[in-house]
Amino acid sequence: MPLVVPGITANNMDDSKTQEWMSKLAGKTISDEPTSETVFCKKDLPECSRVIEPGMMVTKDFNPDRLNVHVKEDGTVSHVSHG
């Protein structure tokens, strides 16, 4: 069984990456347009990422390096997760 030490586990590193992306994307629209104050360009997302729209079907496979960008009906980012 692996040693789990609070504050040093890999999960915390994933959380910091997720928080970093959330601060970059929260409230912005994902688009093919260049990145601006209100828009984030799709090509600037990590290679292993997917934009998940409301009601969209997605696979349940877990990939800790994949960034999942969840958008609302109006196209703005509501939250992000890794997996």
Taking only the tens place, the pLDDT of each residue in 20-66 is 999 999 999 999 999 999 999 999 999 999 999 999 999 999 999 99
The full set of domains in the chain, from first to last, is 10-82 (3.30.10.10)
Neighbours of 19 (CB within 10 A): 11
Amino acid at 32: D
pTM: 0.79
Rg of the chain in Å (alpha carbons): 14
Q: Which pair of tokens denotes residue 82? A: 């890794």
- pLDDT reported for residue 49: 96
What pLDDT sits at residue 12?
Answer: 53
